[in-house]
């Protein structure tokens, strides 16, 4: 049985993961509107990953006899100045998610919840990849801006995700 303190913070993280999913769906819609299907595909895949993260936490709570308490999801932003501006927000958002996962892990340590600690190790590792991917795309888009290289090349690369 999971303790109430852990149940509460995991429910908060489920909400954050669902917000992330919603945010990336909004970003996909932005790129669809800009006729950048590769960027949109990347965002749709990211949206699915975030939803899967929420479900991993959801299932963990259920498996531990906890109660899932879904909360309202805040409306995400829907417009950005550029692809670079948007991906800078992605990088900042992923850093915030990492900090949230670290706080969740600290709560698991405080509560001596070893099952939660083990499960959260997966999220900690996942966030290293998430931050790395966002940083690489920001760096590429900064090169595009600095050198005038076609954004279509980056769009094509992002469209190959999962292929």
Q: Is the pLDDT of residue 38 over 90?
A: yes
Q: Is the pLDDT of residue 163 over 70?
A: no
For residue 99, CA distances in Å to 38, 65, 89, 106, 127 come to 29, 26, 15, 10, 10
% the chain with pLDDT above 90: 87
Domains in the chain with CATH codes = 4-159 (1.20.1260.10)
- Higher-pLDDT residue of 154 and 8 is 8
The model carries a pTM of: 0.90
Residue 162: pLDDT band (50, 70, 90) is confident
**Residue range 13-28: average pLDDT?**
98
Pick from 44-58, 70-84, 137-151: least confident: 137-151
Alpha-carbon radius of gyration of the chain: 17
**Residue range 106-124: average pLDDT?**
98
């Amino acid at each position: 049985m999971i303790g109430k303190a852990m149940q509460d913070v995991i429910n908060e993280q489920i909400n954050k993961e669902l917000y992330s999913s919603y945010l990336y769906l909004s970003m996909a819609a932005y790129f669809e509107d800009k006729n950048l299907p590769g960027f949109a595909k990347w965002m749709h895949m990211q949206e699915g990953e975030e939803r899967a993260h929420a479900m991993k936490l959801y299932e963990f709570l259920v498996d531990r006899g906890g109660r899932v308490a879904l909360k309202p999801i805040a409306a995400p932003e829907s417009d950005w100045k550029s692809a670079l501006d948007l991906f800078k927000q992605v990088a900042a958002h992923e850093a915030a998610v990492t900090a949230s996962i670290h706080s969740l892990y600290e709560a698991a340590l405080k509560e001596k919840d070893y099952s939660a600690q083990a499960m959260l190790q997966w999220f900690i590792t996942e966030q290293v990849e998430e931050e790395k991917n966002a940083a690489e795309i920001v760096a590429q888009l900064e090169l595009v801006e600095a050198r005038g290289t076609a954004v279509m090349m980056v769009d094509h690369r992002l469209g190959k995700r999962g292929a």
